[in-house]
Structure 1
Amino acid sequence: MDMKAWQVQSEKERLELRARLHELLHRLKGEPNALLPFHQALALRPKGEHHLGLKTIEVDRVVGSVDRYEDFDHTFLPKTPHTLERWKRLRALQLEGVELPPIEVYQVGEAYFVKDGNHRVALAKATGQRYLDAYVIALEVPVPVEPGDTLKDLILKAEYAHFLEKTRLKELVPEAEEIRFTTLGRYDLLLDHIVTRRYFKGLEEGREVSWEEAVVDWYQNLYRPTLEAIRRLGLLRGFPGRAEADLYLWVMDHRHFLAQELGVGLGLEEAARSYEARFGSWWKRLGGGLKGLLGR
């Protein structure tokens, strides 16, 4: 075996060992260890695509694949014997000085998904290559993907994209802030809030309220004021790892419970204060206790 062949075989074996260790660590953590699938990016409801031609892209921003996402781990290490052998052949060609062709990718926000050239990306990542030439097709999506996104993040963003499509919130209220949850299945609850708001506003005013009007009314007179109350109270600090939208739903549920079960009607800020008093205090006590322990 000549020196180059020995080098390629040695690198392949180290790569295989790294891939096995990654798989073991992710199983122990209960975390997925695969590339992001492109079909989840399509769930972001792209409005169109543009061919940007040949570009130089950052290798670290390549996070997914169109059809080979199960053959590599989340860092593009080959996971199967076939992908390892393919990687080995490409590495041998590279050491011989063969120039490999550009890859093809879809750009979704700040991230890239490989259409053609998965093994070339794996080779680039394994050898520390920072840039690759790629033919880029950019998708227009309402909620962009970022390189650090997980599969859960992608699913959450797809749910948000569906919500934006149903409500046209960005068109109706251009200044509207992004609404992000940390738990799946919550945007449908917001749609229910809008439907309810529309129904009661129609009863109060004795007329048919359009969907568009209900969306604007919900955001301006319910969602945004509740967020402002949450911010004034600093309520989010008591719930680490959560988002403002999570707290909005919790405060609304608490307000509804007080009204239906106890007959207590509270304003939005009063409901936020009541929720903090009922559920936020123990978080603060726990946080204070931990600070005391760490300070000793």
Structure 2
Amino acid sequence: MPPRTTGMAGADAQDDFLRARRRLALSRLRRRLRREPGDVDHILPFDEVVSALGRVQERDAGLRVIPLDAIVGTVDRLQGFDRHFRPTSPAVRARWERIATAMRRGEPMPPIDVYRVGDAYFVRDGHHRVSVARALGRVDIDAHVTDVVTRVGAGRDLLRADLPLKSHERVFFERVPLPREARERVRPSDPWDFGRLAENVEAWGWRWCQEHSRLMDRRELARRWYEEEYLPVVTLLRDAGMSTGRGGTEADAYLRVGADRYRLLRTHEWSEDVLARLRDAEAARLG
């Protein structure tokens, strides 16, 4: 809902700033009472995000109208605004109120300048304009957009605490360059398991090379592992009723049962007998 107006743009802009500051204080209090993570409201730093996700290239996307609630980060201004672009310091007040006064008077504003990474936007220029526009209840803003393509995608709900785990995901897909259609399927529920899965894939590839007396590059290895190992195994597990025994994803089941197979039976082979023995062992452990 847009804030009320008295018809005096300057005075209203002062009230807008104070109201935005009160909303920030109330939000912080609610999060403390709910014991939510401390970085939920932290603005995302662009350089750290693209480093974790793996920058591939960038391209000019031109002038766009973008949703304000998708702007969650900054290129070089970690102080002054939170993730929702509420002012965190009185130091931004003078410029903030000048822009708020101009917006209330209907004066045209130049487009902001942003990077887009996945579904998230990062401000290069225009932090105050974003903050004021959100405080005035607007839902979108004109922006000059530069798309940054990364090896791993990001949603607007990305948190700073997610970046180390996103880095693990990126390293996995560098070690195991799966086809794009396979990436969403091969996904452990715990991102820390990406490293264990990569070691599993590389060990499978080493055994394949030994058996066939030839080498293959990582792209061929990833494709062969997915088609010749992963898909048949998760199908076997699903048919045997072993893919959802503890919840999680099919990749979780693949890792869990594969580890049990070698630990209990000292084999890398899959067969009906192996599955039956593993199913009995898992039922005894759970029951």
TM tier, smaller: 0.7 to 0.9
| Mean Cα deviation higher: 131-140 or 28-37 | 28-37
2:203 maps to what in 1?
A: 196
Give the one of 114, 137, 151 matched to 2:160.
Answer: 151
Give the one of 241, 246, 255 matched to 1:249.
Answer: 255
Distance change (3 Å), C-alpha of 1:249 and 1:278: farther
Distance change (3 Å), C-alpha of 1:114 and 1:22: same
- Offset, 1:278: 5.5
1:187 and 2:194 aligned = yes
1:293 maps to what in 2?
A: none
- Offset, 1:270: 4.7
Find the aligned partners of 1:25 and 1:3 in 2 and give their Cα distance.
33
1:17 and 2:22 aligned = yes
Give the SS at the match of 1:47.
strand
Find the aligned partners of 1:271 and 1:117 in 2 and give their Cα distance.
63
- Offset, 1:152: 4.5
- Superposed CA RMSD: 3.2
Give the one of 119, 137, 142 matched to 1:133.
Answer: 142
1:62 maps to what in 2?
A: 71
Give the one of 145, 170, 173 matched to 1:161.
Answer: 170
1:223 maps to what in 2?
A: 230
Find the aligned partners of 2:278 and 2:96 in 1 and give their Cα distance.
56
Identical-residue share of aligned pairs (%): 31
1:103 and 2:109 aligned = no
- Offset, 1:274: 5.2
- Offset, 1:62: 1.4
- On the 8 A contact 2:262/2:268 being kept in 1, the answer is no
Find the aligned partners of 2:195 and 2:9 in 1 and give their Cα distance.
57
Give the SS at the match of 1:29.
coil
- On the 8 A contact 2:112/2:125 being kept in 1, the answer is yes
- On the 8 A contact 1:254/1:271 being kept in 2, the answer is no
- On the 8 A contact 1:65/1:113 being kept in 2, the answer is yes
1:90 and 2:66 aligned = no
Aligned pairs for 1:256-271 (under 5 A) are: 256-260=262-266, 267=271, 269-270=275-276
Find the aligned partners of 1:120 and 1:275 in 2 and give their Cα distance.
61
Extract unaligned runs of 5+ from structure 1: 283-296
2:124 maps to what in 1?
A: 115
- Offset, 1:140: 2.1
- On the 8 A contact 1:258/1:264 being kept in 2, the answer is no
CA deviations on 1:124-152 (whole Å, 9 max, x unpaired) are 22222122111111122233322233335
1:75 and 2:87 aligned = no
Extract unaligned runs of 5+ from structure 2: 1-6
Aligned residue identity for 1:244: E
Find the aligned partners of 1:155 and 1:208 in 2 and give their Cα distance.
36
CA deviations on 1:24-75 (whole Å, 9 max, x unpaired) are 3334323412122212331322321111222211212212111224532232
CA deviations on 1:177-213 (whole Å, 9 max, x unpaired) are 42333434322222211221122223334x2432434
Structure with the higher helix share, 1 or 2: 1
Length, aligned pairs only: 273
Find the aligned partners of 1:132 and 1:29 in 2 and give their Cα distance.
30
Give the SS at the match of 2:182.
coil
- On the 8 A contact 1:230/1:272 being kept in 2, the answer is no
Distance change (3 Å), C-alpha of 1:153 and 1:245: farther
Find the aligned partners of 2:268 and 2:201 in 1 and give their Cα distance.
22
- On the 8 A contact 2:176/2:201 being kept in 1, the answer is no
Find the aligned partners of 2:69 and 2:277 in 1 and give their Cα distance.
45
Distance change (3 Å), C-alpha of 1:16 and 1:94: same
TM-score (norm 1): 0.77
